[in-house]
Chains A and B, each alone.
Chain A
């Protein structure tokens, strides 16, 4: 079946602009995660959605970052007023539920100039 998909695959933006990154999880997966992968920080957890529960936003690095998940499926990660330190690969993962294996998408490479 189809895996996790993310769009765009690459995004170049100017400092100060807002960006939206999209994730389509595997159909039927109730849990959705966003991670960020950068050279300096490795792989970091950002936010977690599970069904209709309130998301766990404990990994978001600043209030410029937000995410939503509509209809329990597609998720959008929004970064407002982008900074150069936001440059990274943003990875989305989904799983069948709590503590099941997480399946990752190909990521969105964000470059802030």
Chain B
């Protein structure tokens, strides 16, 4: 069975603070993929990143960075110098294909509020 745990439910920060969103996953598969999605108030899920289980190199994209650690089954997401526009619900997801289905298993999401 696959499971994604986002223990933080709500985080509130002041603009320009750094913030880390935690994600812990469970799977028995050796090949799997991890994702982060952003859901702004408009409601549409926006794809942010995909990582595969064989690539533990951390990734940075502008103010966003991701830390993948297989040893702790974690895939954490850090926003540096947060902005009000970062306010959204962030979902971590896992895909460990069984058969031909690459469905996503989502965490419960973290609501991030960035105050000016």
Contact = CB atoms under 8 A, between A and B. Distances in A.
Interface of A: 31, 33, 35, 42-45, 48, 50, 53, 56, 58-59, 89, 91, 93, 95, 98-107
Interface string B96-110: 010111111111110
Size class of the contact patch on chain B: 20 to 34
A43 B46 CA distance: 14
Given A99-B95, A104-B44, A106-B44, A42 B101 contact: no
Contact of B91 (A43, A101, A106): A43
A48 B44 contact: no
- List the 3 closest A-B pairs by CB distance, nearest first: A104-B45, A43-B106, A45-B103
A99 B104 contact: no
Contacts of B33: 99
Nearest to B47: A101
B104 A102 contact: yes
Contacts of B93: 43
Contacts of A58: 101
Most buried by B among A43, A48, A100: A43
A56 B101 contact: yes
Given A42-B108, A101-B50, A89 B103 contact: no
Given A43-B109, A99-B102, A104-B44, 14 more contacts: A42-B107, A42-B109, A48-B101, A48-B102, A53-B100, A56-B99, A58-B101, A93-B45, A95-B102, A99-B33, A99-B97, A100-B50, A102-B104, A107-B43
**Highest count of chain A CB atoms <10 Å: which of B35, B95, B99, B104:** B104
Given A42-B109, A98-B97, A99-B33, A48 B43 contact: no
B63 to A, nearest CB: 20
A102 B44 contact: no
